[in-house]
Structure 1
Amino acid sequence: MRLTVLGGCGAWPTARQACSGYLVEHEGFRLLIDPGYATLPRLLDHHTVDAIDAVLISHGHPDHCADLNPLLRARGLSDTPPPALPVHAPRGAADAVLALDKPSMLADAYRLREFQPGDRFDIGPFRTDTWLLPHFVPNAGVRLTTPEAVLAYTGDTGPSPDVPRLARGADLLLSEATYVHEVPTADAPYLLTARLAGQYASQAGAARLMLTHLWPGTDPNAAHEAAAEAFRSPIDVAAPGLVTDLAHGSGHPAPTTG
């Protein structure tokens, strides 16, 4: 399993960093997770739009799904449109971005496959387990499993005992870390710090941690240091073009969802 970061900036893109966006590949299957603001140009650094086999959206905030619109336009309005793209999203999460164009314009470009966080289903070669994690809108934490590796991704979340359950024994925990040490009081139930992400990765026994969704302007070194207070294994901070190959050889059992 290979993870390529397209962007890891929270809220809005900067001149150097797109918002959340991740390409996960296994056995030739390419899954695009959270096509947030400005991720399509970064995707095009690696593949053409018709090379994507499916999309998975964690929740409906535009910094996680806005570039689904230009992706579907580039596919659906091309001279030789590829097959309809499966789009997996929590119920209602993709409604706003899909409503940017009249329904008939892109109707053949995608097939919406809605789920409830807590569901388990397959996307290509990936067994996909989901958790409902706390955020301002319904958010699905995701665990992708193949026989060779496990990737756990929080989407955006606040503190929850389900985060280490989601990431138990994972080869990589891709965790939101909007703030370094402390979340503003009003947002504290809905976002994480890098320090807490490190604690969760340690509790989960994850092999690696990658911090993402940092607030624009956050010093990545400060986030790294905060996470390292609790997590002694390798830590990365998401940046465009960062590639991580995941493999453990034997697989981990998936925990019970819900």
Structure 2
Amino acid sequence: MRLVVVGCAGSFPSAESAASAYLVQAEDAHGRTWTVLLDLGSGALGPLQALADPTALDLIGISHLHSDHVADLVVLNVLRRYRPEGPCPPVRLLGPEGTVERLAQMAGKDPATEVSGQFMFEPWQPGAPVRVGPLTIEPVAVDHPLPSFGVRVTGPSDADPARSVTLAYTGDTDECPGLATLADGVDLLLAEAAYIEGRDDALRGVHLTGRRAGAAAAAGKAGRLVLTHLVAWNDPQVTLAEAEGEYDGPIDLARPGAVYTI
């Protein structure tokens, strides 16, 4: 199983990165590659086209409906609907209730960007895993101002396909029981860390700091921590240092195009 970072900027695209978007890929026993897209925020469709075929996705999972996690689904719909060889078959789209309505709102209810033909929407059901090829995706409710979900994804190890491995993506969240569930025993924790200790202490129930992300990884005994949703006005080295104060395992700052094999 592989994690590919498409975009990792928090809240808005930065000069170096699109907003949140991630690919999870794995091969099945017949050698077919299965591709799951987690979020597609502002500006992410561009780099996605360099990393995967947007017309061959097997499933899309959306953590929540803020634009920096969902906006480019509107233009993905255009790419898939109007390609010269004809529309793509619809792809499964899992997200919070209201996802289709949110996309229609962002598209301005323009009939040319009607989303129902390209996306087969299903709401996340906590405690109800979703199977796609060799991957199992478990949604976990987390703490953010909008209804939000992180996900645990389990699939075959890249090094030993007979062995199962798990990665977790927090989406946007503060400390909460769901974060502990996501981090518990995972091989890789992809954790947002948009806030800074001492500066954003009064803003709870929205985002993690590097320290809180590191503490979650340590408590869950995660094998690796990747920090993402890095806001352009933050110094990423400060975020990294906060996490290193809590977690002594390997830590990476997410960067566009990075690939993590698990």
Equivalent position amino acid for 1:89 in 2: G
Report percent identity of matched pairs. Answer: 37
Query: Structure 1 151/103 Cα, relative in aligned 2: closer, same or farther at 3 Å?
Result: farther
8 A contact 2:100–2:115 mirrored in 1: no
8 A contact 1:7–1:39 mirrored in 2: yes
2:133 and 2:116 mapped to 1: Cα distance? 22
Query: What is the Cα deviation at residue 230 of structure 1?
Result: 1.1
1:228 and 1:66 mapped to 2: Cα distance? 32
The equivalent of 1:211 in structure 2 is 227
1:41 and 1:22 mapped to 2: Cα distance? 13
Equivalent position amino acid for 1:19 in 2: A
Q: Pick from 57, 78, 102: which aligns with 2:110? A: 102
Q: Render the CA deviation track for 1:62-81: whole Å, top value 9, x for unaligned.
A: 10010111111100111222
Q: Render the CA deviation track for 1:183-240: whole Å, top value 9, x for unaligned.
A: 6355212211001100100000100001111222212222111101111111011111
Say yes or no: does 1:233 pair with 2:249: yes
2:91 and 2:84 mapped to 1: Cα distance? 16
RMSD: 1.7
- Structure 2 gaps of 5+ residues are 28-32, 157-163
Query: What is the Cα deviation at residue 97 of structure 1?
Result: 1.8
Q: Pick from 125, 137, 159: which aligns with 2:146? A: 137
1:182 and 1:114 mapped to 2: Cα distance? 37
8 A contact 2:192–2:228 mirrored in 1: yes
112-121 or 156-165, which deviates more: 112-121
8 A contact 1:199–1:231 mirrored in 2: yes
215-224 or 170-179, which deviates more: 215-224
8 A contact 2:174–2:205 mirrored in 1: yes
Query: What is the Cα deviation at residue 102 of structure 1?
Result: 3.5
51-60 or 185-194, which deviates more: 185-194
102-111 or 66-75, which deviates more: 102-111
The equivalent of 2:94 in structure 1 is 88
The equivalent of 1:249 in structure 2 is none
Say yes or no: does 1:62 pair with 2:67: yes
1:203 and 1:223 mapped to 2: Cα distance? 18
8 A contact 2:58–2:132 mirrored in 1: no
2:138 and 2:45 mapped to 1: Cα distance? 26
1:65 and 1:135 mapped to 2: Cα distance? 15
Equivalent position amino acid for 2:184 in 1: R
Please give the TM-score of this superposition, normalised by the length of structure 2. 0.88
- Structure 1 gaps of 5+ residues are 247-258
Please give the TM-score of this superposition, normalised by the length of structure 1. 0.89
95-104 or 172-181, which deviates more: 95-104
Indicate the SS of the match to 1:72.
helix
Query: Structure 1 87/183 Cα, relative in aligned 2: closer, same or farther at 3 Å?
Result: farther
The equivalent of 2:30 in structure 1 is none
Say yes or no: does 1:128 pair with 2:137: yes
After TM superposition, the structure 1 = structure 2 runs for residues 11-160 of structure 1, keeping only pairs within 5 Å, are: 11-27=11-27, 28-80=33-85, 81-99=87-105, 100=107, 101-102=109-110, 105-147=114-156, 148-160=164-176
Query: What is the Cα deviation at residue 119 of structure 1?
Result: 3.3
1:93 and 1:50 mapped to 2: Cα distance? 20
35-44 or 104-113, which deviates more: 104-113
8 A contact 1:117–1:130 mirrored in 2: yes
2:175 and 2:199 mapped to 1: Cα distance? 11
The equivalent of 1:173 in structure 2 is 189
163-172 or 185-194, which deviates more: 185-194
1:96 and 1:106 mapped to 2: Cα distance? 10
2:100 and 2:234 mapped to 1: Cα distance? 28
2:175 and 2:52 mapped to 1: Cα distance? 35
